[in-house]
Amino acid sequence: MVTMQDVARASGVSVMTVSNVINGRNVSPETRGRVLEAIDTLGYRVNLAARNLRKGRTGTIGLAVPEVDSPYFAQLAARIITHAEAAGFRVAIEQTGLSREKELTTLAQSRNYQYDGVILSVVGLGKEDAALLQVDFPAVILGERIFDGPLDHLAMANVEGARAATEHLLGAGRRRIAMIAEVEAEPDSGVASLRFHGYRDALLGAGIAVDPDLVVAPRNVTMPAGRDAVRELLDRGHDIDAVFCLTDTLAIGAMRGLADAGLRVPDDVMVIGFDDIIEARFTIPSLSTVDPGHDFMARTAVEMLIERIERKGTAGPPREVISPARVVARESTRPAADRA
């Protein structure tokens, strides 16, 4: 390993001068030339572990997401990287695999001075873990389950978005509206129960009672699970005319399941999802969904985190921000009258 010492010796200057050259501080052109040459011939590289230790920061922020290959999280990550790099931070993505333990570990590890701050997308942690989040470290929580927690928190307008999605289906004349979501036992404790809340509100508002038989739990949040959930729904023998899916990923699977059963979307069954992933614009038929304010979320998460990082001790109380959601109508909910 080549160190600054070696470079300093080779170019006949002190290590400090080498450091100054590397960090672009004032050094006479002649000296700088000699140093750069030595760096080149020796193949010297800064040791970031040493620099980080000395400076007490790394210039890297951690982003923890449940799954990197879920389109929603992948697209969120890409947006966050864009914003963070614009602000001069590198981003390291970690996968928590939907586990509460890994989410806690990531937060703890971050405090090990690996990252200057962390954006944690939470699905496993719940209200009961709020105490464990009591860390004196720049962190922003993305997710639904930790309201009134000790950290900055950014959530979506889940209830409102889900209500709007359901009203959109009602507005198209549908009445037998199923929902694909695993609703948590405790009300409003997670994404699913919040979106179910919106679904129920919309139905009640239209004078329709929630039929528990029309709410089916997928085994996870993937396309295969969405397809199988639709099969179960159809096996129950009910006459459904629309499905509201917890996420677009489930919705894409659901559309596949409907096609397998010989049902046409939107004519026989309308489908709407939630998330507005890029894929939704390219399914056949294209998928109506709820845009949870992607750009707002990514930008806000990065801004909140960087502000905490820069302001160090001078913390201020935790903030709570809700990103607005809006329905994006596409072919999968288009009424017959609108078509050629």
* Consecutive H or E run containing 161: helix 158-171
Sign of CA dihedral 103, 62, 109, 127: negative
CB of 91 to DNA, least distance (A): 21
Structure tokens at 11: 């170019």
> Among a copy of itself, DNA, none, what binds residue 286 when CB lies within 5 to 8 Å by partner kind?
a copy of itself
CB of 12 to DNA, least distance (A): 7
Where on the chain is the footprint of DNA (CB under 7 A)?
1, 3-5, 12-17, 19-20, 22-23, 26-28, 30-32, 45-47, 50-51, 53-56
CA dist 331 and 229 (Å) reads: 22
Q: How many degrees, rounded to 5, is the angle at CA 224 between CA 223 and CA 225? A: 90
Question: Which of 26, 49, 185, 207 touches a copy of itself (CB under 8 A)?
Answer: 49
48 binds a copy of itself per the rule CB under 8 A: yes
Question: Which of 31, 52, 99, 189 touches a copy of itself (CB under 8 A)?
Answer: 52
Q: Which stretch binds a copy of itself (CB under 8 A): 8-16, 20-28, 63-71, 178-186?
A: 63-71
Closest CA to 4 of 49, 33, 13: 13
Contact set for a copy of itself, span 196-255 (CB under 8 A): 222-224, 227, 252-253, 255
> Among a copy of itself, DNA, none, what binds residue 189 when CB lies within 5 to 8 Å by partner kind?
none
Contact set for a copy of itself, span 292-331 (CB under 8 A): none
Q: Which stretch binds a copy of itself (CB under 8 A): 13-21, 40-48, 119-127, 308-316?
A: 40-48
- Alpha carbons within 13 angstroms on the beta-carbon side of residue 205 total 14
CA dist 133 and 22 (Å) reads: 38
CB of 237 to a copy of itself, least distance (A): 23
Question: Which of 30, 69, 148, 239 touches a copy of itself (CB under 8 A)?
Answer: 69
User: Hey, how many other C-beta atoms are within 10 angstroms of the C-beta on 207?
Assistant: 7
Contact 39, 7 (CB under 8 A): yes
CA dist 50 and 69 (Å) reads: 33
